[in-house]
């Protein structure tokens, strides 16, 4: 009897194993392709190539040709998956972008997707004006590639174009060709020169995809200063990123602000930070603490970099953990939920702060100093927030004949993890000469917060004379800070 069962079981087991093995795609065998290099004295012709990465070949790029049928059909491309297309920008030194491998790996790690890296180094090197002229030419080649993918069974909504600098406008051209039916476009500090004053059809624009987001980090130099997406993140106001080197490191100084958008996007894809933006009429108003909640009549005013969709909501969001909240959607998630308001022209600009050190995750801490009585002179406070492994500084000004001054600090840990607060009165020559005494209370809250009632005030009224410094231990206040909804 046992022999009969064994005789039946072995063939059945053999059949199951052979069936399973037949569905496991074999590893690809091909030469690994890589980016070309160029130089100042090259012809500057486009010479674009497309490098495909998939779960079957995550580190060994496969060269694919849109105009070669066998190249596409025999490739590892899977039309049932979402496809991320990365398009770099101007290459001053004619080399492969140093961030490219990290971005490819991050996208593959975040979901089961196809990733295509567009190499147009030869057409983007040395002569910027020629690189600008190559933007529509490259766009036509990317369009041809996507058409081939569509023939293989992909859908327009399954594509996510990620364009850096000039590459953002290439993505815009491509999206415009498809009538805005591309699923998503992410513009990483879209190039400003030659594009700021052009019409929407010649640059990235909200109409180019179902959902368009843009990160702005260098609007006073290489990046565009106008909104170009459904959501535009003006990080640290869009310029002068903290932690960037001084003029002594000239090359780093020139590109650091511009490239900050790339680093932050990769961090968002990997889920390292949930970079949250706050809708506000201006960066100054945001810094002064006037835009602190997530209420908006038409859509969420607290979007996060890399989110799958633009939520239409009137709810008040109260993230409870992580920099701005951990309940966020990673940029690489394979599940598509792209949606926009019925009026596709609606745009919001949002602001956020970051820390000066990688990975630049920041909690937005609102501080308000309240005087016991108004003063005839301006009162200035220097405030330092200290945690176990990080600190941040902010200056708050209370205008004369008023009672309150507010400011926003970017801190590396949550408010309820702050150990010490150090306060010092302003030490200008005028304040030292007059030595006017004043007293007040410091109140704090972590954004988003919908009202002043959510602020927690330190229990002691502090009195200052001249440039005195006072230190407050937060141990007694921490329990109240950690109980916010």
Residues forming the active site: 165, 189, 258
CA 417 vs CA 265, 292, 356, 391, 443: distances in Å = 26, 20, 19, 11, 16
The radius of gyration of the chain's CA atoms, rounded to the nearest angstrom, is 27
CA pair distance 391, 393, nearest whole angstrom: 7
CB 483 within 8 A of CB 445: no
Question: Phi, psi at residue 129, to the nearest 5°?
Answer: -60, -35
Question: Phi, psi at residue 227, to the nearest 5°?
Answer: -65, 140
CB 264 within 8 A of CB 360: yes
Q: Which residues contact residue 230 at a Cβ distance below 8 angstroms, ignoring those fewer than 6 apart?
A: 206, 211, 212, 213, 310, 340, 344, 346, 347, 348
DSSP one-letter string for 250-282: HHHHHHHHHHHHHHHHHHHHTTS---B-EE-S-
Tokens (6 digits) for 480: 């109240």
CB atoms within 10 A of CB 136: 12
Most distant CA pair in the chain: distance in Å?
A: 106
CB atoms within 10 A of CB 473: 10
Select from 465, 462, 366 the least CA-distant residue to 418.
Answer: 366
CB 437 within 8 A of CB 268: no
DSSP one-letter string for 17-34: HHHHHHTSPPPP-SPPB-
Q: Which 8-state DSSP code applies to residue 431?
A: H
């Amino acid at each position: 009897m046992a022999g009969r069962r064994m005789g039946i079981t072995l063939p059945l087991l053999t059949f199951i194993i052979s069936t399973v093995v037949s569905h496991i795609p074999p590893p690809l065998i091909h030469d690994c392709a890589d980016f070309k290099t160029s130089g100042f004295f090259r012809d500057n012709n486009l010479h674009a190539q497309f490098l495909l990465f998939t779960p079957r070949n995550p580190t060994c790029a496969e060269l694919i040709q849109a105009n070669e049928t066998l190249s596409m059909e025999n490739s590892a491309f899977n039309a049932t998956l979402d496809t991320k297309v990365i398009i770099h920008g101007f290459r001053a030194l004619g080399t492969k972008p140093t961030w490219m491998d990290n971005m490819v790996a991050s996208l593959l790690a975040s979901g089961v997707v196809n990733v295509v890296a567009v190499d147009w180094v030869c057409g983007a090197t040395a002569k910027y004006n020629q690189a600008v002229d190559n933007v529509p030419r490259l766009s036509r080649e990317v369009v041809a590639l996507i058409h081939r993918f569509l023939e293989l069974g992909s859908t327009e909504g399954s594509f996510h174009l990620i364009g850096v600098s000039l590459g953002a406008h290439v993505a815009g051209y491509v999206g415009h060709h498809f009538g805005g039916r591309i699923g998503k476009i992410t513009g990483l500090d879209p190039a400003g020169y030659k594009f700021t004053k052009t019409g929407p059809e010649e640059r990235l624009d909200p109409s180019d995809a179902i959902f368009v987001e843009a990160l702005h980090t260098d609007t006073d130099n290489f990046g565009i200063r106008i909104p170009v997406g459904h959501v535009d993140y003006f990080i640290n106001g869009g310029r002068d990123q903290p932690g960037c080197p001084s003029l002594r490191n000239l090359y780093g100084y020139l590109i650091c602000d511009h490239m900050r958008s790339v680093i932050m996007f990769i961090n968002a894809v990997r889920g390292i930070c949930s970079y949250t933006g706050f809708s506000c009429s201006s960066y100054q108003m945001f810094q002064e603490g006037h835009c602190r909640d997530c209420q908006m009549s038409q859509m969420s005013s607290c979007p996060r970099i890399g989110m799958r969709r633009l939520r239409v909501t009137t709810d008040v969001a109260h993230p409870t953990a992580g920099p701005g909240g951990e309940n966020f959607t990673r940029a690489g998630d394979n599940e598509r939920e792209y949606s926009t308001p019925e009026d596709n022209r609606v745009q919001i600009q949002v602001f956020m702060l970051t820390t000066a050190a990688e990975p630049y995750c920041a909690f937005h801490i609102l501080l308000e100093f309240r005087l016991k009585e108004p003063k005839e002179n301006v009162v200035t406070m220097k405030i330092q927030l200290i945690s176990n492994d990080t600190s941040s500084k902010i200056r708050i000004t209370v205008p004369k004949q008023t009672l309150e001054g507010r400011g926003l600090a970017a801190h590396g840990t949550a408010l309820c993890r702050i150990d010490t607060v150090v306060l010092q009165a302003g030490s200008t020559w005028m304040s030292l000469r007059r030595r006017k005494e004043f007293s007040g209370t410091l109140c704090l809250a972590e954004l988003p917060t919908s009202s002043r009632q959510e602020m927690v005030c330190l229990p002691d009224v502090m009195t200052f004379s001249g440039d005195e410094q006072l230190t407050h231990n937060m141990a007694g206040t921490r329990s109240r800070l950690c109980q916010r909804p």
